[in-house]
Structure 1
Amino acid sequence: MDFGFDARTEELRGKLLAFMDEYVYPAEVVAEEQRAALASPWDTPAVVEELKAEARRQGLWNLFLPDSEYGAGLTNLQYAPLAEITGRSPHLAPTATNCAAPDTGNMEVLTQFADERQKKQWLEPLLAGEIRSAFAMTEPEVASSDATNITTLIERAPDGTDEYVITGRKWYISGAMNPDCKIFIVMGKTDPDGEDIRRQQSMILVPRDTPGVTVTRAMQVFGYEDHSHGGHAEVIFDHARVPVSNLIGEEGGGFAIAQARLGPGRIHHCMRLIGMAERAIELMCKRAVSRTAFGKALAQQGVVHNWIADARVTVEQLRLLVLKTAWLMDTVGNKGAHTEIQAIKIATPRAVVDILDKAIQLHGAGGVSQDFPLAELYAGARTLMIADGPDEVHQRSLARRELKKYL
């Protein structure tokens, strides 16, 4: 395993680091100021569109897509250090480079499973950053950590028309509050009584303006509404009708598509989490050398030394595990990297939450305020212990795989 940066990665890293310094970090405050003056808090601040235009001009666009026909054609190992850099400003940089969830996962689904008509209608404008999208899977009435539990129905129209009728309630549907969100990828059951519980589900494209689709409210995350990602909405599908041709792949293929979507999504989250941890360490160090308590700088306090040293060790460990996972995904495929994907999904959010917790502590009241990004970073990192499958689900699966060797 060689984790050294090749020439292309090194070039893109240099450009992306300069882009962050020159454009993204200064835009963080500007975006908040502009958002306060918008007619709707879900509208996109003008500075975000300016960032997107600049990123595209510099070739820092669709870096996440390994398919060179649609994206940058980077391997997971090449993309890992780039995603880490964007994770330092997770509410701006991924969107600026068109590498933000849930659009990334949706574009991957459309690239792999959509037909040519679906790609033309939805993938192309997503690749161009002209629209946003949402992935509607999680439901409030069931334990959605077990995807076979979902109750949303995708039924053939009873009147014999060539349509499906979608009925169900979803929540924490990321991106759905954004007015630029034009399409939902909805997971529901086309065969709820089928013998194979992993062939009951299908995925279907539902335009946001379809009659019967209602975005009812924004869901908060630790009190944050996450405007930059387009919020997390509750969505009702009340006998919403779409053409049969909107089905992605085949009936019963939804569970397999979800698994294909979530593998890359999990490693992308972990890459960005490491960037969040690096930002936290940077802020800790700056705070430690600039503040005095009980007659000496915080940087001279032993407990602060421990926090910073432990954070550095943890980040280096996590980065190596993520890079190994990326390398395995490139060389033996997502299935061959299953253990490592689960390992990073368990380890990274948990460890980064701890680092952010120490950074907040070091900043005192400032750490929980809006004057520093730490509280919002903490909320995002803590949520990732639940999103894309809670830690306990991955621990269960990983442990069973380990025990299987001895049974």
Structure 2
Amino acid sequence: MSEFSEKSRQYQAQLSVFMDEHIYPREREYAQQLHSAENRFSPLPIMDELKEKAKTAGLWNLYIPPSLAQFSDHGGLSNLDYAPLAEIMGRVLWSPEVFNCNAPDTGNMEVFMKYATEAQQDRWLRPLLNGDIRSSYAMTEPQVASSDATNIELSITQEEDEWVLNGRKWFITGALYERCKIFIVMGKSDPENPSRHKQQTQVLVPKETPGLSIIRPLTTLGYDDAPLGHAELVFENVRVPLENVLLGEGRGFEIAQGRLGPGRIHHCMRLIGSAQRSLEMTCKRVEERTTFGRTLSQHQSVREDIAKSFSEIEMMRLLVLKTCQKMDEVGAKEAMDLIAASKVSVPLMAQTVIDRCMQMHGAGGLTEDYPMAEAFNYARWCRQADGPDQVHQMALGKAVIKRYAGQ
């Protein structure tokens, strides 16, 4: 395994100090502002304040890879170098936005960097890079199994100089956020194309476009993930200019594949941070509580759970770092085996470790007094997001059989 670069190590030190000074001490304040907000999906004053501090500290757009470094004065890190930074940010679920490194905006910004025209970049990418607006990626649909992206049914038809969109989407992260201004929408523009992977197109739909309606916020295990949220949307004769197409008609599946690989591994990086923090908090907890005349830390079952959790986190961290290194060396497409292995294994590990930590915190572990319940929810929905476990296992199993059976 390669060493982290000096640039990455400096960012790690800076980011850790920033978290200690500005994020951990203000978690309760963040929660209070969110609970007292008139609209839970409006920007919070604390977030704007912290964003300015992060910009001043140079901790901004850290996710941008070297190949796209021309778009920002910050970042320029390989996947391997970015991994420990995403892990640090993942220790507090809302903190990635402080550094403009949150999903779905990071993936959307990369789409704009790679596939958008100069005019599209000027209108949407620049404000996103500056953190002035937010964005959403509209792919999943309620009426079909969206784990097979070729199933999507939202229709995109051309009428003179416009694209016309009709259909329904759901679990669209960020759509409810007041600052969300642009949707990247994937739909079916050529359903009769003999190639199932050339039937889809992606177009840009501004949030205020007539015919686009936000039906309701959705929850995962009872969490609405405000202020970003996950929404159900309806498109009824939504019209946008032809120049709002991304890359070209029939290129939607290609864009999706290019976007989702790095996004999947970013989730894994953050989940390791969530699991690691949960374990650290639990080690302190078991030293503070006493049952049956001994501290919890002296009970054999507690020590076994701590040991298993430590080992599982370390194994997944190494898997993610190996995946990142392969992505850096040969690209995401050629690293899909390790990306799939990480995507299947890391969320399940985090879910398991966080569950143990919740248990060792007693009833308090289920409450908002600790970050574990919400982190558990994050780990659980990551097993569905960006493709469910079963799809990745199916693809990985097929690739491994082909590799070793010589077929």
TM-score, normalised relative to structure 1: 0.97
Deviations 1:246-296 (A, max 9, x none): 000011100010000000001100000110011110111111011111111
Cross-structure match for 1:206 = 205
Once residues 382 and 37 of structure 2 are traced to their aligned partners in structure 1, the CA distance between those partners, rounded to angstroms, is 29
Alignment of 1:131-150 (within 5 A): 131-150=133-152
User: For 1:74 and 1:7, how far apart are their aligned partners in 2?
Assistant: 11
Task: Kindly provide the CA deviation profile for residues 162-208 of structure 1, in whole angstroms up to 9, marking residues without a partner as x.
Answer: 10001110000000010100000000011011110000001000000
Q: What SS does the corresponding residue of 2:309 show, helix, strand or coil?
A: helix
SS of residue matched to 1:348: helix
Q: Which residue of 1 aligns with 2:116?
A: 114
- Partner residue in 2 for 1:170: 169
Give the total of aligned pairs: 401
SS of alignment partner, residue 133 of structure 1: strand
| Partner of residue 48, structure 1 | 47
Aligned residue for 2:71, secondary structure, equals coil
How much identity, in percent, do the aligned residues show? 48
The whole-number CA distance in structure 1 between the counterparts of 2:315 and 2:346 is 10
- Distance in structure 2 (CA, Å) of the matches to 1:363 and 1:120: 49
CA offsets, 1:69-93, max 9 Å, x none?
A: 12411111110110000000022x1
Q: Is the 8 A contact 1:191 1:201 kept in 2?
A: yes
Q: CA RMSD in A?
A: 0.8
Shift of 1:324: 0.8
Structure 2: unaligned runs, 5 residues or longer: none
CA distance in 2, matches of 1:311, 1:104: 30
Deviations 1:12-41 (A, max 9, x none): 001000000100112211111112332211
Report deviation, 1:5: 2.2
Q: How does 1:278-293 map to 2 (within 5 A)?
A: 278-293=276-291
Deviations 1:278-317 (A, max 9, x none): 1110111111011111111101111110111111111111
Matched, 1:342 2:344: no
SS of the residue corresponding to residue 69 of structure 2 reads coil
Q: Distance in 2 between matches of 1:182 and 1:335?
A: 30
Identify which of 83, 100, 103 aligns with 1:101.
Answer: 103
Q: Residue 196 of structure 2 aligns to a residue in which SS?
A: coil
Distance of 1:370 and 1:14 partners within structure 2: 29
Question: What residue in structure 2 maps to residue 23 of structure 1?
Answer: 22
Among 73, 77, 86, the alignment partner of 1:74 is 77
What does residue 267 of structure 1 align with? 265
Per the TM alignment, residue 364 of structure 1 is displaced from its structure 2 partner at its CA by: 1.2
**Distance in structure 2 (CA, Å) of the matches to 1:180 and 1:354:** 34
Per-residue CA deviations over 1:326-345 (Å, capped at 9, x if unaligned) read 11111111122111000000
Q: Is the CA contact 1:218–1:231 (under 8 Å) kept in the aligned structure 2?
A: yes
Query: What corresponds to 2:374 in structure 1?
Result: 376
For the residue of structure 1 that corresponds to 2:219, the secondary structure is: coil
After superposition, what is the alpha-carbon deviation per residue over 1:138-185, rounded to whole angstroms, capped at 9, x for unaligned? 00000000000000011012xx3x100011100000000101000000
SS in 1 for 2:224: coil
How far apart are the structure 1 equivalents of 2:341 and 2:266? 14
> Offset of 1:7 from its aligned partner?
1.1
Whole-Å Cα distance in 2 between the matches of residues 48 and 306 of structure 1? 39
CA distance in 1 between partners of 2:346 and 2:35 (Å): 33
- Code of the aligned partner of 1:132: R
Question: Is the CA contact (8 Å cut-off) linking 1:357 and 1:378 kept in structure 2?
Answer: yes
Aligned to 2:91: 88
Distance 2:92 2:205 in 1: 31
The one of 286, 293, 296 equivalent to 2:294 is 296
1:35 and 1:44 in contact (8 A); partners too: no
Q: For 2:243 and 2:43, locate their aligned partners in 1 and report how far apart those are by CA, in whole Å.
A: 32
Unaligned runs of 5+ in 1: none
Name the SS for the 2:92 alignment partner.
coil
Q: Distance in 1 between matches of 2:248 and 2:207?
A: 22
- Comparing 95-104 with 328-337, greater Cα deviation is found at 328-337
